[in-house]
Amino acid sequence: MAFFVDVHSHVVPSGDDGAQRVLEGQGLCREAARRGTAILFATPHVWPQLTLTEERERGIRKAFAEVRAAAGLDLRLGYELTPSPALLDDDLRRYALEGTNAVLIEVPFTGSADLLVRICELLEDDGLQPVIAHPERTQSVLERPSLARELAERGWLLQVNGSSLTGRHGAEPEALAWELVDDALVALVGSDGHRGTRPALLDEAYAAVRNRVGETQARSLFDGSALGIVATAAAEDVSPLRERARSARL
């Protein structure tokens, strides 16, 4: 049974640094399904230099529909916000993860997190739930890890990348990601998958977290329960060991 709920990926072509073609996005989705993901949120970037204009949104929705038609899992649409002053005057509800009241917003990779805090406060004022993307990879949190605790204590859900937990982004983000897991500050683990060389997979991270904290706690970080989502889709169980065995038979 597939049960992963991945709230962070870039599998839909949108003009950003994620998937560039519909076929590429479909392949990323199908591989995620084979590796245990039941629900996958496509979260195109909304950057200060790449905003969600009406024209861009139409293009994203068209590409999303095409990817979803052959995704092999429950593909849903959302966005990943990078804090910018323009968002202070925007309708933030348009960015919610489909079927939820949650909005994915990243800590800026460099510089202060002050604008992030202001936007998250506005999200709360609109009845929305901030989900803080990959704090373990950002300058402000690496320099002052207590900032992550402060964000979590405000009721904002911390989402770390599975790829951080498996060491893809270097020793410091890996160590901080595990520290956040050990301190029970993490609410969600997402893939932040972008392309074939950085796919939207969670199975290896799940195995590592399960080995560290046990099945119950690990499952709660991967099954969407932090957002009240229940994954009901089923997919073939192809753990890495089973996948290798199946490949050997082909």
Alpha-carbon span 155 to 161, nearest angstrom: 19
Q: How many CB atoms are closer than 10 A to CB 54?
A: 7
Instruction: Give the CATH number for residue 201.
Output: 3.20.20.140
What's the number of domains the chain is made of?
Answer: 1
Beta strands in 17-115 (DSSP E): 37-42, 45-46, 74-77, 80-81, 102-106
Structural domain boundaries enclosing 63: 4-249
Whether pTM > 0.95 for this model: the answer is no
Relative to beta strand 129-133, strand 157-161 is: parallel
List the chain pLDDT tens, one digit each, 250 residues.
899 999 999 999 999 999 999 999 999 999 999 999 999 999 999 999 999 999 999 999 999 999 999 999 999 999 999 999 999 999 999 999 999 999 999 999 999 999 999 999 999 999 999 999 999 999 999 999 999 999 999 999 999 999 999 999 999 999 999 999 999 999 999 999 999 999 999 999 999 999 999 999 999 999 999 999 977 643 333 333 334 333 332 2
Q: Are strands 80-81 and 37-42 parallel, antiparallel or unpaired?
A: unpaired
Nearest to 48 by CA among 17, 22, 84, 79: 84
Q: Which residues, 6 or more positions from 124, have their beta carbon under 8 angstroms from its beta carbon?
A: 130
Handedness of CA 5, 183, 120, 110 (dihedral sign): negative
Nearest residue to 2 via CA among 45, 44, 31, 43: 31
* Cβ within 8 Å of residue 171, ≥6 positions away: none
From CA 107, how far away is CA 89, in angstroms rounded?
Answer: 19
